């Protein structure tokens, strides 16, 4: 897979994840501030700071707040968006 195509797919998945995850948090989540923040030596891929923070917020409202729950949420949303 070419790097540009991989980046294109990563960006599409990121957009879908933000749409899925931001419903309840859209008005209070600082999307613009994160876009303006410079993360040193960071590639904007699937596990970027925005998606990670959104998953943390979703996990916060779950009954089971374990790391495994966060990973499962991320995985379910990712798989749903792949189809």
Q: Quick one: average pLDDT of 53-66?
A: 80
Distance CA 44, CA 64 (A): 28
pLDDT tens-digit readout, 5-57: 777 777 776 676 666 655 666 667 777 787 787 777 766 676 777 778 888 87
Q: What is the pTM of this model?
A: 0.54
Instruction: Give the structural domain span for 30.
Output: 3-82
Distance of CA 30 to the CA centre of its chain: 13
If one compares 39 and 74, the residue with the highest pLDDT of the two is: 74
Give me the number of domains the chain comprises. Answer: 1
Residue-level length of the chain: 83
């Amino acid at each position: 897979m070419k790097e540009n195509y991989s980046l294109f797919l990563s960006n599409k998945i990121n957009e879908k994840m933000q749409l899925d995850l931001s419903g309840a948090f859209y008005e209070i989540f600082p999307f613009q501030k994160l876009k303006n923040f410079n993360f040193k030596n960071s590639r904007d891929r699937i596990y970027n700071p925005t998606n990670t923070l959104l998953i943390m917020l979703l996990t916060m409202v779950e009954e089971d707040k374990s790391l495994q729950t966060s990973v499962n949420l991320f995985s379910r949303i990712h798989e749903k968006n792949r189809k």
